[in-house]
């Protein structure tokens, strides 16, 4: 039997109004969760999204957001690597941008909600960075 949903475990979504946790997205309810994520992003309510790919805590995505800006980080603990989305428009701009109580360099700020949604959905499907976009790789 083919498994439905995504290989996502321990998803946490913090919005300006609530915190929601999901044990996994391996069933029919996953599309409802995706709709919820899309709604929070499009209506600029997302503050934090963290999700682990597969069983365990080796691969995870963190999205820090405020209004239409976000910082996207994907972690690969077994290989001790992390990846930050890079916004070519601001390449090498290290100006601090506050998001969700943290500061991030301008060059990694995503200002496009469709890109953010595409990166999240691709990660939920594969556990990897979406190579359609630019990323900075660094050692943990």
40-82 pLDDT, tens per residue?
999 999 999 999 998 766 899 999 999 999 999 999 998 899 9
pLDDT tens digits for 118-134?
A: 999 999 989 999 999 99
Q: What percent of the chain has pLDDT over 90?
A: 76
Q: What phi, psi does 137 have (nearest 5°)?
A: -100, 140
* pLDDT on residue 61: 97
Average pLDDT over the chain, rounded to an integer: 91
* pLDDT on residue 3: 44
CA distance 48 to 54: 20
* pLDDT on residue 28: 62
Burial of 65 (0-12, 13-18, 19+ CB in 10 A): buried
CA distance 112 to 11: 22
Q: DSSP letters of 28-86?
A: TTHHHHHHHHHHHHHTT-EEEEEEEESSSSSEEEEEEEETTEEEEEEEEGGGTEEEEE-
Place of tokens 């070519």: 88
Q: Considering the entire predicted model, what is its pTM?
A: 0.92
CB contact at 8 A, 33 and 22: yes
Inform me whether the pLDDT recorded for 89 exceeds 70: yes
* pLDDT on residue 4: 56
Q: Of all helices (H) and strands (E), which one includes residue 132?
A: none
Nearest to residue 100, comparing CAs of 66, 68, 72, 71?
66
* pLDDT on residue 60: 95
């Amino acid at each position: 039997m083919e498994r439905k949903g995504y290989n996502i475990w321990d998803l946490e979504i913090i919005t300006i109004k609530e915190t929601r946790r999901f044990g996994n997205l391996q069933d029919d309810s996953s599309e409802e969760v995706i709709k919820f994520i899309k709604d929070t992003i499009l209506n600029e309510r997302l503050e934090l999204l963290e999700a682990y790919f597969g069983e365990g805590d080796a691969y995870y995505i963190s999205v820090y957001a405020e209004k239409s800006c976000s910082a996207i980080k994907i972690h690969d603990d077994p290989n001790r690597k992390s990846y930050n989305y890079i916004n070519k428009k601001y390449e090498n701009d290290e100006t601090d941008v506050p998001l969700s109580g943290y500061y991030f360099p301008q060059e990694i700020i995503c200002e496009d909600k469709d890109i953010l949604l595409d990166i999240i959905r691709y990660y939920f499907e594969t556990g990897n960075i979406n190579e359609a976009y630019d990323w900075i790789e660094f050692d943990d």
